[in-house]
Amino acid sequence: MKNIEKYLRENGYADRGLNEKFEFRDIHKDEADQAVEIEQICFPPHEACSKAHMKDRIEKVPELFLVAIDKETGKMAGFLNGIATNEGKFRDEFFTEADLNEPTGENVMLLGLDVLPQYRGQGLATEIVFNYLCREEKKGRKRLILTCLDGKIKMYEKMRFVDLGISDSVWGDEEWHDMCYTINVEGK
Ligand SMILES: CC(C)(COP(=O)(O)OP(=O)(O)OC[C@H]1O[C@@H](n2cnc3c(N)ncnc32)[C@H](O)[C@@H]1OP(=O)(O)O)[C@@H](O)C(=O)NCCC(=O)NCCS
């Protein structure tokens, strides 16, 4: 099946009423400070993207951010960001070198999924990921690849990512798993 949006909605993966409370869209460059702050809240210092790298990413690759905006406050509640590439394997340089972005790359390396604590537990991260998938399917991407720690494997499996085993990544001196979502879901 080519149309992920149709598949996800038919199978109850998305559209849990969150579109009424949140707007899902590309980031605006003047929202960089909000993203920096959210990243510092969501991740411990050794895992978080630095302010400089986050700003560089937003400057150079804004089209690969997807933010959820609380319609009541107009502020960001969470976001997902990535970098496009024709490479097939995750490496840590994607975290720090926004210049590696290949705009028409067939894959997207996902660099961070953040939801502010007060917005957690209502499916917002899932909705952000699925909005991202739908958007990138339209651009013809083949795979979305991310790294996660042991404790998050099940969460991403629920979002239909597949665990590829231990990653080459040594980000923050931790052991990561590579996980992959193949966008063409035909036959799955
Ligand atoms: C992880 C995070 C993005 C989840 O956000 P959320 O909006 O609460 O997630 P959802 O409500 O969409 O939850 C989706 C599923 O993941 C699971 N899950 C949620 N948070 C989890 C966590 N911290 N650890 C393990 N599983 C988790 C839930 O069980 C849920 O499944 P369910 O709906 O069947 O119960 C959020 O807690 C966060 O920003 N944490 C800090 C940053 C982080 O760890 N990001 C991911 C890095 S790999």
CB 187 near ligand 1, within 6 Å: no
Report how many domains make up the chain.
1
Distance of alpha carbon 87 from alpha carbon 20, whole angstroms: 37
In a domain, 159, yes or no: yes
In a domain, 119, yes or no: yes
Three-point CA angle 160, 36, 128, nearest 5°: 25
Measured in Å, residue 17 CA sits from the centre of ligand 1 at 18
Using DSSP's 3-state secondary structure scheme, residue 143 falls into strand
Question: Order of strands, edge to edge, in the sheet holding 22-25?
Answer: 22-25, 65-70, 76-85, 107-115, 143-148, 177-182, 162-166
Tens digit of each residue's pLDDT (9 = 90 or more) over 6-54: 777 777 666 668 989 999 999 999 999 999 999 999 999 999 999 999 9
Question: Tell me, what amino acid is at 131?
Answer: N
**To test the ligand 1 pocket, which listed residue (37, 120, 124, 147) has its Cβ within 8 A of the most ligand atoms?**
120
In a domain, 187, yes or no: no
**CATH number for 130:** 3.40.630.30
Distance of alpha carbon 143 from alpha carbon 69, whole angstroms: 26
Q: 141 lies in which domain range?
A: 4-182
In a domain, 83, yes or no: yes
Percentage, residues of the chain above pLDDT 90: 87
